[in-house]
Chain A
Amino acid sequence: MKMTGAQILIECLKREGVELIFGYPGGQAIFLFDKLYDSDIKFILPRHEQAAAHAADGYARATGKPGVCIATSGPGATNLVTGIATAYIDSIPMIAITGQVRTTLIGNDAFQEADITGITRSITKHNFMVKDVNDLARTVREAFYIATTGRPGPVLIDFPTDVQMKEAEFIWPEEVNIRSYKPTYFGHPGQIKKAAKLIAQAKKPILYIGGGVITSGAYYEVKELAEKIQAPVTWTLMGIGAFPAEHKLSLGMLGMHGTAYANHSIMESDLIISIGARFDDRVTGRIDSFAPNAKVIHIDIDPSSISKNVKVDIPIVGDARNILELLIKDLKKLPDTNEWLKEVNALMKKYPMTYKEKDMIAPQYVIEAIDQVTKGNAIITTEVGQHQMWAAQWYKYNNPRSFISSGGLGTMGFGFPASMGAKLGKPEKTVIVVAGDGSIQMNIQELATCVCNKINVKVVILNNGYLGMVRQWQELFYKKRYSHTCITSPDFVKLAESYGAVGMRVTKKEDLKPALEKAIAIDNVVFVEVIVEPEENVYPMVPAGEAINKIISGGLA
């Protein structure tokens, strides 16, 4: 059957199982939008293209399915860039579709023209420009395949107007075969045997897990491995939820704002079993003094992650779940970790996670209150800054895909739009955005999208009147010279109300939990502004470039 390019694209999206698109129309996408008007795929119109990308990302993180966003050419496309880069560095499957000027005008500085495949080359897993409508169906099929396999990532398809309009026979490619792209899923059995041997000999093993465990769905295997060898487990920001926070082997997050006992434990360990993590600088601190006595087993689907930052003794390339299944079977002899667990428990007692309450509400308490009110069962999305770290530290995430945060890029303005995707993907879940007064203002226009589509997320704004994380660094390392970090805000209550949402302001500790309970019960979008201690710092903290056991505790431990 002959179809236009726009119809072919929509048919392909349906066949790929797409149930939801975030998009914004514009001159070079009108024809495509005309065809979308007839489509039964749910379509959400955000108020900014950047939010479309973050929402698609949030949907992908919450559901594991690829998120889809659409924008027009030029400014529409460039507005997606931050969202694409955010998804790329956190390995999130996403398809971004951009309108483009007609093929005969490309390169002529046409109205609303931007070389978006050039611009996004280094922030996409791959990108395409479709110049011939006959290539379209295969291109879309390949785009989804590339985005969702191996180490996932965003793929952009640039779609010129004339190609949208041209007709072609619709042929659905049943199979995808890209000769130059064959991700490795099964780890080398010899390497896995070697790893099993090394584990058996270890005295102080530790599991260090990252976002790859969530992507691969390896949580049961990670838990089984940890319990079988009785090794403590620590995780990265992206690994939050991959292992139950309340498990007795859990050490919490490590790194710059990780728990002191996780950092001390990994420094003392003699074997690091890294699963789906990439030894980021926020985790390792000063690299030459990181875990000096430890051998490293590195399980990762991306060969370029291995030996990038730390020297690896046993690399195993492949899917974490497949590898762990085999590894667990290969563990004939188990290490004796009794002494090691005693040592780790002593570290936990010596350096407990704690905070001091002052006159105003402690931001850490706000997170604890959210945890108690939601019984640890909500999906938490965050913006970026101090509140993000507190949300990572003080909520007990016992389930994967329950913490949605921009880890690698650290994108302010991510959390609120991402929550829309999370809520639409998981409508049965309570979705709470933990935001700061700075971050929330970066994509606050999405209140309109939430209200008009009844995406009833709850936004808790920790208002301290500062761009708090930078202020903290200025306090500690720049002699309290608060250069441009004091920030004013609108009246968030009135603002929420003006959009048709509900606004609340909490200034007293005793009012907080009732307010949160009420907010969750209300059948509407709710902004809960909490006025918190203005100069509270995130601790523990490892200054950038220091060894991760050189911890500033803020006089707490």
Chain B
Amino acid sequence: MKHTISVLVENKFGVLARVAGLFSARGYNIASLAVSETLDPTISYMTIVVDAKDESILEQIEKQLNKLIDVITVTDFTKKEHAERELILLKINCLSKDKAKLEKSLKKYVAKLVCHRADTAIVELVGQQEQIKEALEELGKFGIKELIRTGKIAMAV
């Protein structure tokens, strides 16, 4: 089962390596990771998505995260009401004559055309995982050349 975990940490060098090390030491792959400064510049916020094959190992990782000196709080959103978003940039096959068609498709989602050059369009897309999945299926019809995801960010309600 996929877990979304937020970790509030001291904004210092080495902290990311400490956090990541707890996952890697147990052979756990981090599915996505987003890190940035908060309103308080001495604190960073990490959102980590991890696919836990064994819930007890994940529980141990969460306890170990709490033990790290530079970690302030750990929240597992799995059973907690939260808002989540991810931003995606896509490079899509799109001849000039198809631009209108693409823009029409984009209207169904929180998405917009960032730029268009010759036969290629760059599109930004924001949403929850379900919406993103749906959008990617539709845009796949144009042919996706490249895709970059920021990783999920989540906030408690």
Contacts and interface: CB of A to CB of B under 8 A. Distances in A.
Contacts of B59: 307
B18 interface: yes
A555 B120 CA distance: 81
Interface in A290-344: 302-304, 307-308
Contacts of B60: 304, 308
Interface residues of B, number: 17
Contacts of B21: 121-122
Interface string A169-211: 0000000001111000000000000000000000000000000
A204 to B, nearest CB: 28
A125 interface: yes
A550 interface: no
A121 B67 contact: no
B66 interface: yes
Interface in A401-432: none
A122 B69 contact: no
Interface string B7-27: 001100010011001000100
A483 B59 CA distance: 40
A304 B67 contact: yes
Given A121-B21, A122-B21, A122-B25, A179 B72 contact: yes
Contact of A121 (B9, B10, B18, B71): B18
B64 interface: yes
Contacts of A179: 72
A154 to B, nearest CB: 13
Given A121-B18, A121-B21, A122-B21, A304 B66 contact: yes
Given A118-B17, A121-B21, A122-B21, A181 B69 contact: yes
Contacts of A117: 14
B10 to A, nearest CB: 6
Contact of B69 (A178, A303, A308): A178
B70 interface: yes
A302 B18 CA distance: 18
B72 A180 contact: yes
B63 A180 contact: no
Contact of A125 (B9, B69, B72): B69
A146 interface: yes
B69 A180 contact: yes
A181 B10 CA distance: 11
B25 A304 contact: no
Nearest to A151: B67
A303 B63 CA distance: 7
A302 B72 CA distance: 16
A48 interface: no
A303 B59 CA distance: 11
24 contacts: A117-B14, A118-B17, A121-B14, A122-B25, A125-B69, A126-B69, A129-B14, A146-B69, A178-B69, A179-B72, A180-B10, A180-B69, A180-B70, A180-B71, A180-B72, A181-B69, A303-B63, A303-B66, A303-B67, A304-B60, A304-B63, A304-B66, A304-B67, A308-B60
Interface of B: 9-10, 14, 17-18, 21, 25, 59-60, 63-64, 66-67, 69-72
What 9 pairs across the A-B complex have the smallest Cβ distances?
A: A304-B63, A126-B69, A180-B72, A181-B69, A304-B64, A304-B67, A303-B63, A121-B21, A122-B21
Given A118-B17, A146-B69, A180-B69, 5 more contacts: A117-B14, A180-B9, A303-B66, A304-B63, A304-B64
